[in-house]
Each structure stands twice: as structure tokens, then as C-alpha cells.
Amino acid sequence: MGADVRGLNRLHQFDKVEIVQISLPEQSYGILEEMRAHIEGLLQKLELPYRVLRLCGGDMSFTSALTYDLEVWSAAQGRWLEVSSASNFETYQANRLKLRYRAEGGKTQLLHTLNGSALALPRIVAALLENNQTEDGINLPKALHSYCGFDKITN
């Protein structure tokens, strides 16, 4: 077992916020872009350095038609860590669930399903701690001040 299979990098169970949508086929890719933008907005409010990756076919599951991964910079590890993913599964999941709608003309058609993990909480907490360290404590992003009741973690 190496260092890359333990800790925050390889948690098999962790808390996260899920985003799930069922949509009409002609709206699903626009909704996927809205989901990606929502996740980006969260990372921007947390003032974390991040990047968005549009996965190539070989890196996606066979069930996904398009997937975005969002990664934050881990200052301690000196590398990017995935904290979120958003995918359009088109009709794959809908077919198994029999999720259909009646289109114009009365024909029954499959809906599209989309889902994503908005934020993997352990990695977000680690990124907040790592990327906001100063000599006199850890500065919290402004978006968290009202929730925490303070703006800095000090010794």
C-alpha cells in the first residue's frame, strides 16, 4: 500500500452534496452547463484555486455521455484533487428506470438524467485549510464568516 491509497485521496465513503436532475433531451446539455457553473460558483465563493476538466471518452464511465470534473489545488500535496463531477447520462439511466414523457404527437420518449457531486466535503475542508494558511492562522473565505462567527482560525 502506497501513500496514494490512504487519507483524503482515496476515501471510500465520505460526505458530499449531490445534484440530480431529470430533463427533456433537448434541455439536458444546457442543464449540465448550469450544474457545472453552479459548482464553479461554490468554489469561487470559497475562494479556492480550481480548474475544470472536460473528460475524454476513455476517462468517463461507459454510462456517461459527457462529464466534467472540478479539481481544487492541494497546496500540501502540490497537485490537483477532484472535488466534484457533473455528468449527463442521456437516456442510459432513464431507460433502466423507465423514465418517459409524452412528446408532441403523443409519442412516448425517454428523458435524460444528470447528476453530480457538488462538493466532496473532506477534500474541500483540506483545501480550505491548506490554501489559506498564514503565519498567524488560517483565513476563512468571506462566504463562511457568517456561518462560523469568525474569520480566522488561530492557535
Mean of per-residue pLDDT scores for the chain: 90
User: What is the pLDDT tens value at each position of the chain, 155 positions in all?
Assistant: 455 555 555 555 567 788 999 999 999 999 999 999 999 999 999 999 999 999 998 888 889 999 999 999 998 889 999 999 999 999 999 999 999 999 988 999 999 999 998 888 888 999 999 999 999 999 999 999 999 999 999 97
Q: How do the domains of the chain map onto residue ranges?
A: 16-153
Q: pTM value?
A: 0.87
Topology of the domain comprising 16-153: BirA Bifunctional Protein; domain 2 (3.30.930)
CA of 69: how far to CAs of 3, 31, 122, in Å? 23, 16, 16
In 27-78, alpha helices (H): 28-45
Radius of gyration of the chain (CA): 19
